Structure 1
Amino acid sequence: MRRILLALLMIFSWSASHALAGSLNLVPPGNRNVQQPKVPGASVRRTTAGRSTFDEKYDKIRDLLANDKSLIAKIKQTSRQYDIDPIHIIGAIVGEHTYNVDAYDRLQSYYVKAAAYAGDRFRFGYKDETIGAFVQRSQFSKCDDFNDSYRLWSCREGVWERVFRGKTVEGVSYPDNRFSAVFFQPFFAGQTFGLGQINPLTALMQSDMVARRSGYPKLDAANAADVYKAIMDPDQSLAYMAATIRRAIDDYAQIAGMDISRNPGITATLYNVGNSADRAAALAARNRNGGFSWPEENYYGWLVNDKLDELKSLL
């Protein structure tokens, strides 16, 4: 009887999951915008300062991918672990290295750069307060109910936005800036790292999923060196990229009723802007209030969809 009940439960779960998948709105392929949305000035200035162009940077990262079969194999393997199409990881890498940083000539250079961040000389904090001490404040107590790293750090980020950002609390004045920029970037605000250009807070959020699916040790904010290693080392970085994309796909399915898994421009956009749960909720709210709209790509995702055939050929 127990085996029969278990079998019925498995059949019910399979049917429910497929019914949910069938009820999702499949986001059409391609771009919603005819012309590429405006590229932010900061990205233009970075590229100009490096005496390069977006076309040159795109060509460079495309050629790196085309000439590195080992990296492509790792991208495919990681994608299987997270049940995503590898084109989503390709799109995120291309977008980051076209608009945010310049690609190294070879994958080995990323390993060498990662080694430079080894050691215990870094910490996460603001002024004299470590992040560990900061989140022990009473304002964060409700977050202690969450065991999953994504919900835990998302809760803490929400408390930062509501209570601390741009305000003076208990005699300390806090910057009007993102949680990740204030507490998780000791070099300078806005800095991201490695092949996937991941910031440390994102890595901490995805730590549990990466531990489950890829087997890497869970990250601890008290050990900044391990966090840097995870996002700088190309092998681990791919896992955190895939987890971030997987999370965005799930958020849009569960919150907005949208299947974005076949539109790499949308997943690339969300990889670029972050906060996929909030953005899915905002889209769902707009669609509940009359009319209907699809998620739209930004300048970054627009490029990915525009170059999609060429990028698919890399695989």
Structure 2
Amino acid sequence: MKRHLILFATTCLLSLSTALQPASAVTVVPEGNRNATQPNIPAASIKRTGELNTTHEAKYQKIYNLLKSDPKLRSKISSVARTYGIDPVHIVGALVGEHTYNVDAYDRLQTYYVKAISYVKQGLSFDYQGESIGDFIKRPQFSSCAQYKDSLRLWTCREGVWEADFRGKTVGGKRFPDNRFAAVFFQPFYAGQTFGLGQLSPLTALQMTDMVNRYSGLPKLDADHATEVYKTIMDPDFTLPYMAATIKESIDVYRRVADFDISKNPGITATLYNTGGADARARALANTNAGRAAAGQPPQLPEENYYGWLVNNKLEQLKALF
């Protein structure tokens, strides 16, 4: 998931420890799209799809046909969804969005396993100009992050430090790119390259590894072992739990921070899977609605983007898979 880079502001960390609001205060976001027509699809997606001599509809049909024709894949999705307490259509929505607007799906699930094995054989590392991520996060700027013991808050803090202290700046005589943390340190081939079924970024996997360990019992990931991180995001048996954990966190944070239950609207969870930053977006929406309430106006509901709009538009067909 190339774009799935979660939360830049360190203030967003505070919401992770906020107690759940009373059930009566939570508004259920109903099924369906808030936008009558699909929001604009990014030019990059249109260009990439055109260069492949295909269409978004054809790409949708390809991933849909993979899901429809592979009962083992659907069974894996259902099992993982039960473990994380979410509807399987949320996972399907993320898969559909990724393979419709970003990469093209492979025809067979087995191809993803083959790709995972090929990366394990290559040997990878996360670094920038010879400085490994393990050494980089030992710099004094990251010392404040040591207070966080869970992987989500720890790596979110580190991402925030990158944004504030390193991105586009010269530090200690070394110039750092004006680019995302994940793109600079966590994509060892070239920015944007992923082959996994869920298109997860390595940074997202590192953030969610504690939750996945807790729910699925998978070993915790370590940034100093890049090969294992890449194998995890490319192997369907590992990447599906990480997808589920990412979606569950989005659902939880919208309830916790913005008083919205988005668990009934797969288009919203797909949107957040696409954009990342669920915590920051929930906080921004909560602030907007606080102002609207003070002005005597009704709350603004979360809205889907182009990616989530497709998921909601195809929802009945996707639900029928299960």
Q: TM-score, normalised by structure 1?
A: 0.93
Retained in 1: the 8 A contact 2:33–2:303?
Answer: yes
In the TM superposition, residue 285 of structure 1 has moved relative to its aligned partner by 1.0
Of structures 1 and 2, the larger Rg is shown by 1
Where do residues 1-315 of structure 1 align in structure 2 (5 Å cutoff)?
A: 20-119=22-121, 121-290=123-292, 291=297, 292-315=299-322
User: What is the letter of the counterpart of residue 206 of structure 2?
Assistant: L
Hey, which bits of structure 1, 4+ residues long, moved more than 3 A? none
User: What is the letter of the counterpart of residue 311 of structure 1?
Assistant: L
Tell me which of the two structures has the higher relative contact order, counting C-alpha pairs closer than 8 angstroms and 6 or more residues apart. 2
In the TM superposition, residue 113 of structure 1 has moved relative to its aligned partner by 1.1
Deviations 1:119-153 (A, max 9, x none): 36210011111101111111110100111000000
Deviations 1:144-203 (A, max 9, x none): 011100000000001111111111111111111111001100111122331100010000
User: How many residues are paired up?
Assistant: 299
Which blocks of at least 5 consecutive residues in structure 2 are unaligned?
Answer: 1-18
Deviations 1:51-75 (A, max 9, x none): 1100100011101100000000000
User: What is the letter of the counterpart of residue 131 of structure 1?
Assistant: I
What residue in structure 2 maps to residue 9 of structure 1? none
How well do the aligned residues superpose, as a CA RMSD in angstroms?
1.2
Q: TM-score, normalised by structure 2?
A: 0.91
User: What is the letter of the counterpart of residue 36 of structure 1?
Assistant: Q
Retained in 1: the 8 A contact 2:169–2:178?
Answer: yes
What residue in structure 2 maps to residue 10 of structure 1? none
Deviations 1:227-280 (A, max 9, x none): 011100001110000000000001111111111000000000000000111111
Retained in 2: the 8 A contact 1:193–1:199?
Answer: no
Q: Structure 2 CA distance, aligned partners of 1:122 and 1:24?
A: 44
Q: Structure 2 CA distance, aligned partners of 1:304 and 1:193?
A: 21
SS across alignment from 2:120: coil
Deviations 1:12-46 (A, max 9, x none): xxxx97x7233211112111111101111111111
What percent of counterpart residues are identical? 60
Q: Structure 1 CA distance, aligned partners of 2:111 and 2:130?
A: 34
